[in-house]
Structure 1
Amino acid sequence: VRSTQKITSAMKMVSASKLRRAQNTIIQFRPYAKKLSEVLYNVFPSQNEETKNPLEEIREAENIVFVVITSNKGLCGGFNNAIIKQSELLLSTTYAQQHKENKVQFVCIGKRGSDYISKKRYPILEIDNQILDDCTFEKSAVIADKLIDAFIAKKIDKVEVIYSKFKSAGNQTVETTQYLPVVFEQATTDKQEIDYIFEPQKEIIYQQMVPQLIKMNLYQYISESIASEHGARMVAMHQATENADELIKDLRLSYNKMRQASITNALIEMVSAAESLKS
């Protein structure tokens, strides 16, 4: 038990170190992604159907893709199970008809999710487990580009991302976010509209920024999930270490009781033997 406790304690410290790095990435990236979405919504509000980006096209959702982000390793509590459960819930409710017609495909990021999806024999479009070991914007952009190309080619009509949003080390929530067609975030501030001067033309900038936002969103979702994984593992290992303490106390108490009973029995036998000799 003590050996196991040392392992869980070491894993807790490793997870805490990785969590700090992942948390810093999120803190630095969240404001940038949020502001870009607001800029696209507020600076380019007058886009009509002709000037809209193809990635905004809303069409009947026949062919669906689920991007399921789990972890490569276990020992992180219910982290992976919660994401898989949410995926199954969507398959049985919102996208039950598409699932029945075998029109829901999966992009699996994380070995735990890919193993489950493979075992269930659901259609898999892409598997990338290595990205979790060293997640960069460039690596996530490769996956995003494939989804963008498939959406523009009308091979898929909608993409949903199922991931764990990081709030704190002890608090992560499973989120389902529409990834494609893209939806912009509206700013909550009531600032006066500004007549910007664009160079090059506004339409050119707009067409270039939309794919960039989509790539950044996927990078953010993966980063959030990585931080959530480390937070969940740190909490799980902390609880395991504390449980080991309780188990050691219980075992020590049981050992002392057995030892005391053994000593008492030995004394009784000695007294009985002495009495027998006297008589």
Structure 2
Amino acid sequence: MRVVAAARLRRAQENIVATRPFAEKFNTILGHLIAQIENPSHPLLESRELKRVCLISVSADRGLCGSFNSNVIRTTTQRAQHYQAQGAEVTVICVGRRTRDYFARRDYNVIAEYVNIFRQLAFETAVEIVEEFEHLYRDKQVDRVEVIYNDFKSAILQVVLVEQLLPLTPEVPTGDELFLDYLYEPEQEAIFQSVLAKHLNMQMWKVLLDSNAAEQAARMAAMENATRNANELIDDLILQRNRARQTQITTEISEIVSGAAALEG
């Protein structure tokens, strides 16, 4: 399992490394447009009084990956309790079998679930998830959408992140030498609407790729630790067996010597 996880990690790492620059550039372009448009308006930018919150919890479909799943579940539970303490209603979208199993058995309002998507991860899945919570926000059924997932830092480090997806809060770029007053065709507003519509899809795709890479890294580390612990256990058992065998042989030799001495006497 460690070897399989390592092979899958290489592919997952290549995918996330290739996607991150594109996702970051999306944020930059969006920031440029917002900086140049006076009073940009869009339903996904609208901030409302916090009464209903949707949490997207992204875990794995399988276990044997250390604390990967438990960290996401714990953080999601803490966020839910935080908003419930403020009097907000919390709904959950479960991505991965582990979060689905956990929250479905407890008193949580699970409105959607996506299981076994990491076997053949596709961009269409990210689009489907975005459509699920985007229409809830547009219809004012939720006032905020957050995603909780494991961010892939390296093969030995995965960090649980909580990111707000809606309402969108793109940052205006500062200190960007490439930030010029471009002439846009079509108009800035049209480009802004087009980029904004694709922004969430790209961010959700990045979340799924990050979580997939982090899962494989966590499983590889967990299996490596399990292999090392198993080898140590085998060594301890061999040592105990050798000691027991040595004691038995010593006892038998002592009995033979004692019997021979008795016969001679």
TM-score bucket (shorter structure): over 0.9
The amino acid across from 1:92 in the alignment is Q
- 1:169 is matched with 155
Which among 110, 117, 122 is matched to residue 108 of structure 2?
122
- Assess, with a 3 A threshold, how the Cα gap between structure 1 residues 98 and 22 changes in structure 2: closer, same or farther: farther
Which among 37, 49, 55 is matched to residue 60 of structure 1?
49
- Assess, with a 3 A threshold, how the Cα gap between structure 1 residues 138 and 190 changes in structure 2: closer, same or farther: same
Shifted more, 203-212 versus 269-278: the winner is 269-278
Matches within 5 A, 1:186-265: 186-191=172-177, 193-265=179-251
1:145 Cα shift?
A: 1.1
Structure 2 SS opposite 1:131: coil
Map Cα deviations across residues 143-202 of structure 1 (whole Å, 9 max, x no partner).
101211111111111001000000001100000000111121443533264222222222
- 2:167 is matched with 181
TM-score, normalised to structure 1's length? 0.91
Structure 2 SS opposite 1:45: helix
Work out the number of aligned pairs and report it. 265
- Alpha-carbon RMSD across the aligned residues, in angstroms, is 1.5
TM-score, normalised to structure 2's length? 0.95
- Assess, with a 3 A threshold, how the Cα gap between structure 1 residues 113 and 192 changes in structure 2: closer, same or farther: closer
1:39 Cα shift?
A: 0.8
Structure 2 SS opposite 1:165: strand
- 2:2 is matched with 12
Tell me the distance in 1 between the aligned counterparts of 2:65 and 2:172. 35
* Unpaired runs of at least 5, structure 2: none
- 2:12 is matched with 22
Which among 21, 45, 55 is matched to residue 35 of structure 2?
45
* Unpaired runs of at least 5, structure 1: 1-10
Tell me the distance in 2 between the aligned counterparts of 1:31 and 1:192. 16
The amino acid across from 1:167 in the alignment is K
Structure 1 SS opposite 2:161: strand
- Assess, with a 3 A threshold, how the Cα gap between structure 1 residues 169 and 193 changes in structure 2: closer, same or farther: closer
Tell me the distance in 2 between the aligned counterparts of 1:189 and 1:13. 44
Tell me the distance in 2 between the aligned counterparts of 1:186 and 1:263. 80
The answer to whether the 8 A contact 1:161-1:178 is kept is yes
Structure 2 SS opposite 1:37: helix
The amino acid across from 2:85 in the alignment is A
1:96 Cα shift?
A: 2.3
Tell me the distance in 2 between the aligned counterparts of 1:113 and 1:44. 36
Tell me the distance in 2 between the aligned counterparts of 1:90 and 1:152. 22
Identity value in percent: 35
